[in-house]
Structure 1
């Protein structure tokens, strides 16, 4: 029976049962004091939407690599009934846990595709994933009994965006997801392990400037001053040339990049827009081909799934530091 019909049927039976229950209820005045029952309910403010779970979700759908990887790292893989919008292969330590999870779509799945799995929780990497022509609008899904949750760093409203994103905020998001998914202890262990790993890293101390080149050939899309690119570069000891821009990413011009003349350029590597393609663009463009960083091949790479708030961020910082040490 479809979820909506089951819900209506349950409500009807509950309404019929109320008088019967009331007639046999003991006298409240004679009843001893009772304590409130222990509840597994968790409520959070998520991008301005109140999200409540009454217990650990049992049928989870993830959208974007960041959410899939976090859910797997927390040990909820056996409750993930579908995933979509992968930004690349899973890291080696999570590959086995995620190997058999059905892939719903290469990009954002339709609402029909998602609802066919009868999920009780949809965990999205971007707030824009929840739309009428995507997974579905949050209010509509909630009315169908589907809880929706967005990775906090991806909230679109300024009042909910980290400014800037910090590792404390990243780790807090792990803990919040752990609470909602019923994996509180696993989240605490994950945070402790990543904090220990981060504490052992020694950032580069040469004061090098960097431009984070995400995408774009005619107009570069670069990392700005409040999001994951800023966090990763700063943690590795680099000075973001666009740190004064109050965005996570933004579009600029090649002329502006040339004016800033960074010491290194961080390239986002993905299967659909490789780091090598970006190098070719930089070397073919007359505005950037003469930059010292381009002439000297002063390029660093970061895998696309590590460029958003998630479980790969600490490893990405370590990788940047190692790449800088080789220069």
Structure 2
């Protein structure tokens, strides 16, 4: 039997045929992460991320957020390791030094999140007042200058936790957490294979044959890298990231191994090694006498994912020494 449908029912059927209006999507929940002792809240997943410095870039890429980067401002010539191709595809705004990071520079990019190794001419608090949350690379919570005097726990663990923290902020934890676990596994593999053999080492920054020699204390990433491969840092009691010891102090430590850090754009590995071996003031060091000099790209002792690459490279080089 045929039944006549009422007007209300016909209206419902017509809406169904045409496609009923979609229900509004629920608003994204705010996310709060802890960064450098601050609680940083993001009201929604950021879509315009400004990244300052290659270390920050490697962390964001590792967290699965490279496609959110609308401005990438690395130091000119800064290596990026496995993230190089991904980061090179993002809009670039290279900087020469930290002093290029002005308030105007940041505001001009209209970001909804800044991830950086530090700020110059502004502060996270000032940017927060303007509606721009900021995340600082954990290794630079105390500042990015040579005189940083703040660190807690493992610097390499901070790299992994930074990846996780950025993943939480971006809503990409599925990717970030897996990468963080892989970084930890690589560090643990080095730790498990290393055997302390009583040798001591000094880490020196070498920029040229006549440059001043800076050394690294226990606040630098390289201090932990040396420890993990089984070498004792002769300046491990110094609560400094970087300082310039006197020649007398350096000679007095009598290191068995010299680890020479350099910036690739300034000089080559061979030039760095020869610079250390030919310096008359270092002639009496056991490491120089025995030619036990290792060379590492300075950026592989920073606070991004390249630090794990540097740890593995240091392990491989150390295996070539007698």
In the alignment of these two chains, the number of paired residues is 284
Task: Describe how 1:186-197 pairs up with structure 2 within 5 A.
Answer: 186-197=175-186
1:153 equivalenced with 2:144 (yes/no): no
In 2, distance between residues paired with 1:38 and 1:113?
31
- The match for 2:189 is 200
In 1, distance between residues paired with 2:28 and 2:150?
30
In 2, distance between residues paired with 1:141 and 1:51?
12
In 2, distance between residues paired with 1:118 and 1:313?
30
- The match for 1:114 is 106
Query: CA-to-partner distance for each residue in 1:144-200, whole Å, 9 max, x for gaps?
Result: 221111111211179993334343333222211221222212121012212222333
- The match for 2:61 is 72
Of residues 236, 260, 263, the one that matches 2:256 is 263
In 1, distance between residues paired with 2:294 and 2:153?
22
With the length of structure 1 as denominator, give the TM-score of the two structures.
0.78
In 2, distance between residues paired with 1:323 and 1:159?
28
Confirm or deny: 8 A CA contact 1:48 1:160 kept in the other structure: no
1:90 equivalenced with 2:80 (yes/no): yes
Structure 1 residue runs of 4 or more that deviate by more than 6 Å after TM superposition: 157-160
Are residues 218 and 314 of structure 1, via their aligned partners in 2, closer, same or farther at CA, if it must alter by over 3 Å? closer
In 2, distance between residues paired with 1:56 and 1:277?
47
In 1, distance between residues paired with 2:148 and 2:319?
38
In 2, distance between residues paired with 1:165 and 1:223?
16
Q: Shift of the alpha carbon at 1:215?
A: 4.2
Query: CA-to-partner distance for each residue in 1:30-55, whole Å, 9 max, x for gaps?
Result: xxxxxxx8853222343344321122
Q: Shift of the alpha carbon at 1:204?
A: 4.3
Of residues 51, 54, 59, the one that matches 2:43 is 54
1:212 equivalenced with 2:203 (yes/no): yes
In 2, distance between residues paired with 1:154 and 1:185?
26
Task: Describe how 1:290-301 pairs up with structure 2 within 5 A.
Answer: 290-301=284-295
With the length of structure 2 as denominator, give the TM-score of the two structures.
0.79
Confirm or deny: 8 A CA contact 1:131 1:137 kept in the other structure: yes
Are residues 215 and 44 of structure 1, via their aligned partners in 2, closer, same or farther at CA, if it must alter by over 3 Å? farther
1:282 equivalenced with 2:276 (yes/no): yes
Are residues 48 and 167 of structure 1, via their aligned partners in 2, closer, same or farther at CA, if it must alter by over 3 Å? closer
- The match for 2:305 is 311
Q: Pairwise CA RMSD of aligned residues?
A: 2.6
Are residues 115 and 301 of structure 1, via their aligned partners in 2, closer, same or farther at CA, if it must alter by over 3 Å? same
Confirm or deny: 8 A CA contact 2:101 2:120 kept in the other structure: no
- The match for 1:27 is none
Are residues 276 and 125 of structure 1, via their aligned partners in 2, closer, same or farther at CA, if it must alter by over 3 Å? farther
Find the residue that maps to 2:134 and give its secondary structure. strand
Find the residue that maps to 1:104 and give its secondary structure. coil
Q: Shift of the alpha carbon at 1:75?
A: 1.6
Confirm or deny: 8 A CA contact 1:255 1:287 kept in the other structure: no
Q: Which runs of 5+ in 1 are unaligned?
A: 1-36
